Amino acid sequence: MKLIKVEAHGFKSFAEPITLHFNGGVAGIVGPNGSGKSNINDAIKWVLGERSAKELRGDNMDDVIFAGSKTAKPMDKAVVTLTFDNKDGQSSINHETITISRVLERGSGINQYYLNGEVCRQKDIKEIAMESGIGKSSLAIISQGTVSDIAEASAEERKGIFEEAAGVSKYKFRKKEALSKLAKTQEGLDQIALVIAEIERKLNPLRKQAEKAKIFIAKTEELRSVEVGLLVDNIKRFGSRYDELSVELEGVQETKNDLNDRIKNLEAKISQNIEFKTNLEAAQKEISIELEAVKDRLNNLSIAIARENERERLIVEGELKVDTTEQINAYKTLIEKSAQRVAYYNREYDLINKRISDNSEILDAHDKELNFINIRLTKKENDIFKIQTHLNLLKQQKEGNTLLYKGTKTILENKAIFGKGLKGTVADLIKVNKEYSRAIEAVLANALQHLVVDKPEVAVKAVEFLKQNNGGRATFIPLASIHPKSVRDDHLLAIQGQPGFIAVASELVEVEPIYLILSQFLLGNVIVTETIHHANHISKILDNRYMIVTLDGDIIRAGGVIVGGAKSNTETLLTIDLKISELESLIPGIQIAITDDRSKHNEISNERRICLELESQLKNQLANIITQKSAEQKILDELNLKLKNISNKELEIKTESISIHSSEADLEVLSSRKSALEADFRAKNERINALAQEINSGQVLKSDFESTLRKLLESFSEKLSEKEKSKVFLEQSRERLASQYKLTLESAEAQGYKLEMSYDQATEIVREIREEINKLGNVNLEALEQLVEEEERYNKFVKSEEELTQAKQVLESAIAQMDKIIITRLTNIVHDVNAEFNDVFATMFGGGSARLFFSDPKNILESGVEIEAMPPGKSIKNLKLFSGGEKSLIAISLLFGILKARPLPLCILDEVEAALDESNVVRYAEYLQKLKNKTQFLVITHRHGTMSRVDALFGATMQNRGVTTFFSLELAEAKKLVDDVQEDYISARAAKAQN
């Protein structure tokens, strides 16, 4: 494989594109020091994969890119291309011409290789170089330093030259890779063995656990088939009983309230009757006292009448004389007494009339006040009824979740499944004053029903539950995933002084500390203002960046869209609790007012009854007074008439008779008064007895009512307890159905679960299965999957172990084969080169002998290669004792021996003869001519003896400072150039000698 062309641009001093064409033989590359001739060597090494900047005489790889000069700008890219003639087929690449390129760009990180114009790996380039013998570490590229290294190297280091010559580099490289793979394979086998041992330790107990898990799953499925039906029956049965008891308790509550009202009314009635009876007894006592006085007066008057009758009889019989004057005075006395009694009756009449009139006014006032209280009570009772009805409706809505969407309702009804991870709805977690409720409600809208969870996994679980049970859709807010939102500080500062600005919405709600991020996420970037006009003004200031809401619920969205208008007054999730609290707070005040009004009503009713009874008494008294006054007036008129006609004894007798009649009239009046008082006394006594009986009956009835109420309360308590138990059993059944079986009542019924036997039988079966499950103890339900996984892992690792064992065997076999090839090739190369080396040595030194041998022939792989050289007239065996020129000549002799034994397609020699004297340079150059038929040489030199003996000459020059250019010369021109270079060289040596 022959190098036919080198192209470079941007590499080191090649600022201008250069192209060198080669035709084989020995090509010389010459030029003054610093002209860049050796950059051709660096370019070839670089394109063949050199990675070390130091090997390329730089600090870092970017140093190979042209850095610029006074006459040329720096370049950003270096490109080198080698073109080979592969007609001899030395390369495995099936092309007659092979082009290898490398491109490096400064700053971009591009460092790319190309093979025949296609992108390839550095490894591909290295393989081509190694199989053709032009690799960067072979004898194909030799510098002056390399020559010294060959002479002074240890036997082990020197062996590398022969490995390159023997073409075993690729085998060593492959062996190194194989050894690395073998080590990794062994490491993998060791690790797999540990894993297999660990898995084997797990498998036996895992198989037992898996067997227990199978039994557990079978029993659990058997339990499920019975218990789910039992739970469905429980839910329906306890739910039905709960509803029945709720209805019954409502009726009991009504009856209880009715009995309490009746007992209160009876107590009021009994209290009134007792008070009325007490009043009657007091009045009866007064009548009794007056009756005794009347009886005394009647007795005295009867005695007086008896005396007057006796006196009248005596007068009539003449036994008693009558004095007319005395009679007249007696009449006057009787008239005066009678007139006094008439005046008394008139005063009593007026007084009683006045009392009747006053009492009527009081009755009218009582009637008006009672009517007003009745109207007020009716209104307040209607208010209570309306409030209680509204309150019951709101509570039913809240307890029944009727305001919630289906999905949200389904999750809340089965919250036990999700545990503490489910926090509740947004509406449950935030509190807001009534003043701001419409604003917050307008902003959150449907988000009030969003469900808050602690992390996304709970939300995923809930979504899966909704899908499995056809439970609708819901929105979830994971606290772990959300981030707070806010209004920028400078924007907030700009609007804080604006009219109508209230606050950021998140500041107007109350939340527990753990939910602060929720309020900031939902409301942190929402601004609240008083009116839509204020909102519009502030929105313009902020360039419509934020949502703004008013206290009425009008909204200006970010971007400027305005939403607003009138809204219905129906309650929402956010306001329903506020409304319930508000209504409940109204009831006690109204009930107190009703109680006060009823107490006032009873008090006024009692007073009115007393007034009515007093009116009846006063009218009776007035009738008696009228009767008594009429009788007394009649007596007075008769007395006045008789007084005028007294003139005789007959008149006297008559007068006496009139006196008697007057006394008898008094007696009649008093008797009438006595009868009236006795009748009044009897009436009051009868009324008192009636009241006592009514009080007793009321107390008996009250006792009956209280007994009935106690029984009712006992029944209420029993039913309430039964209702609560039904509720507990209902909730327990629902929770168990949800938590244990991930089902709702609806989904369980849809899947056909129902109780197929009696309740007792099902309960007994469930108990027995549970006992069997409990006897299993702790069960690892993941054991079945773990067993499958572990067995799969075990089989996988066993298979991997088998594969790695096979791979190990293949690698060991390959390594052994490569060792055999390396030993064979090394033995052959040393043998062949040894034969050539002695001849070349004798030629180069003009006599003497030299030989090569393994330092450890029994271990070729580890053995070094020793050199024994004996120039004419010397017996030095240690190479280090030779002079520098001798060492170089020995190394060159060895190089030529190798090239004779194993010719290379290309060899680049960079001033390798620099340490030789002129005669030896000539020998060196002439020997190159002997080898050029089998090896192409590129010789970089400044020695006259070499330049004069090359086949082609390329001159390096810097017409522009820092920029290398090349030109080819005819041999005549080359001769002149060689002479010039020789003179420069001699001058330089002379100057160096003088120094």
648 annotated ligand binder? no
Count helices and strands in the chain by DSSP H and E runs: 22, 24
777 annotated ligand binder? no
Is there a contact between 979 and 969 (Cβ–Cβ < 8 Å)? no
Cβ-Cβ contacts under 8 Å for 967 (sequence gap 6 or more)? 954, 955, 957
Structure tokens at 786: 């773990």
34 annotated ligand binder? yes
H-helix or E-strand spanning residue 953: strand 952-960
- Neighbouring C-alpha atoms within 13 Å toward the C-beta of 68: 5
Amino acid letter for position 274: I
Q: In terms of Cα–Cα distance, which of 136, 65, 125, 123 is closest to 99? A: 125
CA distance 101 to 12: 16
32 annotated ligand binder? yes
Q: What is the DSSP string of 88-137?
A: T--SSS--SEEEEEEEEETTT--EEEEETTEEE-HHHHHHHHHHHT--TT
Is there a contact between 98 and 115 (Cβ–Cβ < 8 Å)? yes
Token look-up 């209420």 returns 716
Length of the chain: 995
Token look-up 């090839």 returns 821
647 annotated ligand binder? no
Is there a contact between 971 and 953 (Cβ–Cβ < 8 Å)? yes
CA distance 582 to 575: 10
Is there a contact between 979 and 28 (Cβ–Cβ < 8 Å)? no
Structure tokens at 54: 């130091």
Structure tokens at 290: 């007056």
Cβ-Cβ contacts under 8 Å for 993 (sequence gap 6 or more)? none
List alpha helices for 153-168, DSSP H: 155-166
Is there a contact between 465 and 579 (Cβ–Cβ < 8 Å)? no
35 annotated ligand binder? yes
For 755, which DSSP code?
-
| 3 state SS for 507-566 | HHEECCHHHHHHHHHHHCCEEEECCHHHHHHHHHHCCCCCEEEECCCCEECCCCCEECCC
Q: What is the DSSP string of 66-89?
A: ----SSS---SEEEEEEEEE-TT-
Where are any strands of DSSP class E within 381-494?
422-425, 431-432, 451-453, 476-478
CA distance 880 to 903: 28
H-helix or E-strand spanning residue 622: helix 576-644
C-beta neighbour count of 344 within 10 angstroms:
14
Q: What is each CA distance from 583 to 387, 391, 789, 897, in whole angstroms?
A: 6, 7, 63, 116
For 882, which DSSP code?
S
CA distance 254 to 260: 10
| Strand 547-550 with 555-556, pairing | antiparallel
Q: In terms of Cα–Cα distance, which of 794, 399, 708 is closest to 576? A: 399
CA distance 781 to 758: 32
| Strand 936-940 with 952-960, pairing | unpaired
Amino acid letter for position 881: L
Q: Could you give phi then psi for residue 35, rounded to 5 degrees?
A: -80, -10
CB-based burial of residue 775 (10 Å sphere; 0-12 exposed, 13-18 middle, 19+ buried)?
A: exposed
Give the residue ranges of the annotated binding site. 32-39
Give the residue ranges of the annotated binding site for ATP. 32-39
